[in-house]
Amino acid sequence: MVSLIKTLQFAVVLHIVRGALFNKSQTMSSSLSMMKQTGNFHTSHNNEVFLLNVGGELMYATRDTLTYIPNTVLSSVILSTTENRSKLIQHDENGRLFIDLPPILFKHALEQLRRWKNRGNISADREILPPSWHVKNEFDEMLISLGLAKYRQNLPIECTLYNVSDDPSRHVGTGGGTLCDRDLVGWTRFIDRAGNVIVRQAPGIGCGGQKSGWLLGTYPTEPWTTTLSTLCYTDEMRIPCRAWTPIRTTHCGSFLVFELRSPPFCPARVCTDDYNLN
């Protein structure tokens, strides 16, 4: 009888303990679910994880990533108190931080911030690069709105300061003449009826001069990169590279610029043509 009573007492205690553990588990599960819904899910204060609503797309990011660069909109929002946070940024219907920016562009910038944070420094990178030069302007506008303007990608100086030539007489196939490129020196962009690139094979006729200039080498294929090539000049006998000078070519996203030097003799002109960069 005594043994039976002890067994029953143990069963009652076990039932109570199991019930308490179950209730605690349910409470923790509900709390976890609520924190995930509201974006306040975190493992510890120093490693807090935020669920952001960026233009309708949900993204996770840690406190360390969002505040890695100080004095930005993101760091100000995350480091502010709950009372002040609503003054700096909007919230969606579930209480999550809402950032009214293009999600694809924001995610691309967030990935670069995450890499910087994981490396522990930003010495290897001074610029937050856009996913494509096609969206560079929109991407830069986003960085400015986030207080990250100084981390925008800087264009090569030759992509903003250059000569422009739209002379159709230098287009390949227009015939010879007595014109010379003696005064066309420095970074130059060819536009409109002049074409947009220097030809990459020896032309048959003079492009407005008696000696024709053509590029022996390749065009850069990646935006903001530069290649070094040879600018060859033919002569009256059509020797392909009677004289030459070095030439640099820079890809400026939607166009190329060429660094020209005075030709070795006159009348000599570089020949141009139309080229699709895309």
Instruction: Show the tokens assigned to 185.
Output: 């020196």
pLDDT tens digits, 194-212: 999 999 999 977 799 989 9
Which residues pair with residue 98 across a beta bridge? 53, 90
pTM value > 0.75: no
What pLDDT is recorded for position 21? 41
- In the prediction, which pLDDT does 197 show? 98
Q: Which helix (H) or strand (E) holds 216?
A: strand 211-216
Instruction: Look at residue 193 in the predicted model and tell me its pLDDT.
Output: 94
Query: For 45-151, which CATH superfamily applies?
Result: Potassium Channel Kv1.1; Chain A (3.30.710.10)
Low-confidence spans in the chain with pLDDT less than 50: 1-44, 86
Cα separation of 213 and 203, whole Å?
Answer: 8
pLDDT of residue 42: 40
Domain ranges for the chain: 45-151, 158-273
On the CB side of 24, how many CA atoms lie within 13 Å of its CA?
A: 6
